[in-house]
Amino acid sequence: MIIKRGNITLNVGTLSVDDNWVQSLSIYPNPAKDIINIKLNNYQNTSATLYDISGRLMFEKKLNSDISSIDVSNLNNGMYLLKINAENKTITKRVIKQ
């Protein structure tokens, strides 16, 4: 869809998510006390970044296997955003630290 207003043209496209990408990702347990496990099948060059709710970087890690773990035992209780990057795809999930 294209919207034109005076000198401004806005091209609004459809956003889509690769269903295989989303279905292959598993983050558990959530809520977590000490460890968050990330399961992502058959992806190379994968990384995980954890942010607090204000956007402050808390943790960054390269994921080298199909199942990787992140130690969250030293973090305060609350909500965090876990950003997973794999093969030019990115997904952000909310995780809870208890």
Q: Using CA atoms, how far apart are residues 1 and 24, in angstroms rounded to an integer?
A: 31
Residues 6+ apart with CB under 8 A from 95: 27, 30, 31, 32, 36, 50, 72, 79, 80, 81, 82
Q: What is the pLDDT of residues 39-73, one digit of tens each?
A: 987 777 889 999 999 999 999 999 887 888 999 99
> 3-state class of 98 per DSSP?
coil
pLDDT at 54: 92
Q: How confident is the model at residue 25 (pLDDT cuts 50, 70, 90)?
A: confident
Q: What is the pLDDT of residues 74-93, one digit of tens each?
A: 999 999 999 999 878 889 99
- Domains assigned to the chain: 25-97 (2.60.40.1220)
